[in-house]
Amino acid sequence: MADKKGYPDFQDHLKTLDGRGLLQKIDEPINKDTEMHPLVRWQFRGGIQEPDRKAFLFNNITCSRGKSYQLPVAVGALSSNKEIYSIGIGAPIEDIGKVWSRAIANPIKPIEVTCAPCQDVVIEGSELEGEGKGLDWLPIPISTPGFDCAPYFTATGCISKDPDTGTQNMGTYRAGLKSSTRMALRMSARSGGAEGHQHWRKYRERGEKMPMAITLGGPPAVCYCAPQKLRMGVDEIAVAGGLVGAPINVVRGKTVDLLIPAEAEVVVEGYVDPEFVEPEAPFGESHGHIALEGYNNIFEITAITHRKNAVLASIISQVTPSESSVIKRVAYEPIWYDHLANGLGIKGLKRVSMHEPLTNIRRVLFLVFDRGVPTTEIWRALYGASTVNASVGKYIIAVNEDIDPDNGDAIFWALAYRSNPALDVQILPHRDQGHGPKSDVRMGREDATMLIDATLKSDMPPIALPKKEYMESAKALWEKLGLPPLKPESPWHGYSLGDWNSEWDEMAKRAADGEYMENGRRSAQYRRSDVAPNTSVRDAPGGPFGDE
């Protein structure tokens, strides 16, 4: 913790990651245009398990023009895995949902200061203009070499202000470099998209340029708030204060009348043109496809400020899993759970899980329930989950808690044996296509949502795997024999799904104890000639279970 603030800033965070063995420092020369993001990308596409991913700090940066850069760049430092996110937000992984719910319900207004680290160095006027100056001075990586048209800001906190209410908003919008003083800025214009775009529309109606400050790096709590979908009109910096339980220090911009996180690493100030737009992209988007060239806003910069020893933050996005999807997922899931469990009062809901690999958490949503929850309650949850955000929930599937939502085979298992397509599926038409590549005409201009109840509707026989105690004993034996390390996959042991009784349990115990002949003597007592093969003993009067 630094003095005069009740929260860690970005450099405090990097020190903690380093102390816990979660920061990979790279001192060799690395080309930001061709090597940096591809190198970090490998830990998301190279079979490295999520807990083993790390943050990267690049200290010796070059570019394809042979330039060297003063500022180091951190990639993956905000959320390469859940542990890094947990450190940044200052709460155990299992408590992240509670922390978010509390912060959203109890934001803490920021405190304005007059002297701030983010303004240790101020660059403006002619010092911004020309090659090697202004934006060209910053070591901004190319995220998707071979497809991207420019270096892009990715880990942005884009601050704008509603000209009518004065309330600030902070969103994560991509910004591509055009010159040393100009960027193209993409704020989603669709319904439910970027609040910054709504601000811009008001400035355009007034014929005024929209002031904006873009932060790159800062207190992790602030960085986590920027990409979240909070309610319109909510000040994200106040919610960040709620996350850490203390007010965030802010300072007024040097050339824009906006309040900026005082401990930000780098700040780019300027104005968004109210009239003109220009072509922006191609760029690799977080939905996993290349966003093709389209018209977007123009951002003319008026100042760059930064800390004396600033570290520039960049995030891995594009195809998921990625740092971008982890940042969103660990907060989105508890937000959806809070809406369903507390807002709608859904009973028996254990958790909400968003499918991450390749589908970018928005398209496939799982609701995990206790056994025995009434069907009406499950359908109330399915419909409720479809209304939270227009871009989330193309397929919403309810499963029981014995199904691992992160295991595709387990999901297919539930669909195969626990759902009837004629009874357990509903289609909701007229949905927005949401966040994703533009669909061609065969997909239509609208999308739809499929709701599936893949929970148990009645008792079923046990899972046909050895009981837990036998699998645990076998695992101990496996390890004693020095066999390859195991990675248990659910289900890894058998368990009852309700259709099982104590008599069968005793029979199984006798068999495991070597007393199977006793079971044979039992079955011999119930020989008969008046039933057909394959008849259940429960369907034959006078069988082992009497007239049940």
Length of the chain: 548
pLDDT of residue 57: 98
Most confidently predicted of 268-277, 438-447, 518-527, 533-542: 268-277
3-state secondary structure of 17: helix
Question: Whole-angstrom Cα distance, residue 264 to residue 253?
Answer: 12
Using the predicted structure, report yes or no on whether residue 105 has a pLDDT greater than 80. Answer: yes
pLDDT of residue 272: 98
Question: Whole-angstrom Cα distance, residue 498 to residue 462?
Answer: 7
Using the predicted structure, report yes or no on whether residue 546 has a pLDDT greater than 80. Answer: no
- Summarize the confidence of residues 473-500 as an average pLDDT: 93
Question: Whole-angstrom Cα distance, residue 171 to residue 187?
Answer: 9
Using the predicted structure, report yes or no on whether residue 65 has a pLDDT greater than 60. Answer: yes
pLDDT of residue 2: 40
Query: Which is nearest to 268 in space by CA: 312, 221, 318, 223?
Result: 312
- With 0-12 / 13-18 / 19 or more C-beta atoms within 10 angstroms meaning exposed / middle / buried, residue 521 is exposed
Q: Is the model more confident about 231 or about 215?
A: 215
pLDDT of residue 286: 81
Strands 111-113 and 249-252: parallel
- Summarize the confidence of residues 483-491 as an average pLDDT: 91
Alpha-carbon distance values, 357 to 198, 325, 363 (Å): 31, 9, 11
Question: Whole-angstrom Cα distance, residue 227 to residue 246?
Answer: 20
Give the tens place of pLDDT for each residue, 11-39. 999 999 999 999 999 999 999 999 999 99
From 316-325, 450-459, 478-487, the region with the lowest mean pLDDT:
316-325
Using the predicted structure, report yes or no on whether residue 445 has a pLDDT greater than 60. Answer: yes
Q: Give ranges for CATH 2.30.110.10 in the chain.
A: 10-314
What band does 374 get if pLDDT is binned at 50, 70 and 90?
very high
pLDDT of residue 432: 73
What band does 135 get if pLDDT is binned at 50, 70 and 90?
very high
Give the tens place of pLDDT for each residue, 75-96. 999 999 999 999 999 999 889 8
Question: Whole-angstrom Cα distance, residue 5 to residue 382?
Answer: 42
- Summarize the confidence of residues 492-520 as an average pLDDT: 94
Give the tens place of pLDDT for each residue, 308-352. 999 999 998 888 888 888 888 888 898 899 899 989 999 999 999
pLDDT of residue 266: 98
Using the predicted structure, report yes or no on whether residue 471 has a pLDDT greater than 70. Answer: yes
- Summarize the confidence of residues 108-137 as an average pLDDT: 97
Using the predicted structure, report yes or no on whether residue 535 has a pLDDT greater than 70. Answer: yes
Using the predicted structure, report yes or no on whether residue 191 has a pLDDT greater than 80. Answer: no
What band does 434 get if pLDDT is binned at 50, 70 and 90?
low
- Summarize the confidence of residues 422-427 as an average pLDDT: 97
> Which tokens go with 230?
């909070």
Are residues 102 and 95 in contact, defined by beta-carbon separation less than 8 angstroms?
A: no
Q: Give ranges for CATH 3.40.1670.10 in the chain.
A: 344-453
pLDDT of residue 15: 98
pLDDT of residue 441: 47
The proportion of the chain whose per-residue pLDDT surpasses 70, expressed as a percent, equals: 97
CATH domain 10-314 topology: Pnp Oxidase; Chain A (2.30.110)
Query: Which is nearest to 103 in space by CA: 237, 4, 226?
Result: 237
Buried residues in 345-381 as b, exposed as e (16+ CB within 10 A): ebebbebbbbbbbebbbbbbbbbbbeeebeeebbebb
Q: In sequence order, which ranges of 144-207 are alpha helices (DSSP H)?
A: 195-206
Using the predicted structure, report yes or no on whether residue 443 has a pLDDT greater than 70. Answer: no
pLDDT of residue 444: 59
What band does 229 get if pLDDT is binned at 50, 70 and 90?
confident
Are residues 312 and 155 in contact, defined by beta-carbon separation less than 8 angstroms?
A: no
- Can you say how many angstroms the Cα of residue 17 is from the centroid of all Cα atoms in its chain? 20
Q: 82-89 and 323-337 helices cross at what angle (nearest 10)?
A: 70
pLDDT of residue 435: 67
Token pair 């319109």 in the structure block, residue: 232
The proportion of the chain whose per-residue pLDDT surpasses 90, expressed as a percent, equals: 79
The CA-to-CA distance between both ends of the chain, in Å, stands at: 69
Q: Is the model more confident about 49 or about 250?
A: 250
Q: Phi/psi zone of residue 293: left (φ > 0), alpha (ψ -120 to 50 degrees), beta? A: beta
CATH no. for 344-453 = 3.40.1670.10
Nearby residues of 484 by Cβ (< 8 Å), 6 or more positions away: none
pLDDT of residue 338: 87
Using the predicted structure, report yes or no on whether residue 234 has a pLDDT greater than 60. Answer: yes
Q: 516-524 and 502-512 helices cross at what angle (nearest 10)?
A: 140
Average pLDDT, the chain: 93
Using the predicted structure, report yes or no on whether residue 436 has a pLDDT greater than 80. Answer: no
